[in-house]
């Protein structure tokens, strides 16, 4: 499977998971408190809740699908050239 297909899968699955987790959170809050629904929660808050959840899922999918959208940190960088001592 090519890197482009894996990245497309990552984006689609992470957005769907963010939306699904937000809907699940709304159902949970409604069952616990009884006064939380989409109309009361609002579209803006729905998007602002789903977006960070999608990013969180996307970070883990990036690791497992090895899409390299995020860098692996300092281990990926080339080491500095060895300094020569002139005595």
Taking only the tens place, the pLDDT of each residue in 25-82 is: 999 999 998 888 888 889 999 999 999 999 999 999 998 988 888 877 676 556 566 6
Cβ–Cβ under 8 Å, residues 14 and 54: yes
How many whole angstroms separate alpha carbon 56 and alpha carbon 22? Answer: 13
Contact between residue 26 and residue 77 where contact means Cβ atoms under 8 Å apart: no
Measuring CA to CA, how many Å separate 20 from each of 43, 48, 77? 14, 14, 36
Number of domains in the chain: 1
The pLDDT, as a whole number, for residue 9 is 93
Residue 84 inside a domain? The answer is: no
- Tell whether 81 is covered by a domain: no
Residue 36 lies in a domain: yes
Domain membership of residue 87 (yes or no) is no
Q: Assess if residue 83 is contained within a domain.
A: no
Q: How far is CA 30 from CA 23, 26, 27, 41, 81, in A?
A: 10, 6, 5, 11, 59
Residue 80 counted as domain residue: no
Burial classification of residue 7, based on how many CB atoms lie within 10 Å of its CB (0-12 exposed, 13-18 middle, 19 or more buried): middle
> What is the span of the domain harbouring residue 55?
3-68
């Amino acid at each position: 499977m090519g890197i482009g297909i894996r990245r497309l899968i990552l984006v689609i699955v992470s957005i769907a998971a963010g939306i699904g987790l937000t809907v699940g959170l709304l159902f949970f809050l409604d069952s616990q408190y009884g006064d939380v629904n989409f109309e009361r929660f609002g579209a803006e808050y729905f998007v602002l809740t789903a977006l960070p959840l999608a990013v969180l899922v996307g970070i883990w999918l990036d690791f497992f699908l090895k899409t390299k959208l995020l860098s692996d940190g300092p281990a990926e960088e080339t080491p500095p050239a060895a300094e020569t001592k002139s005595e």
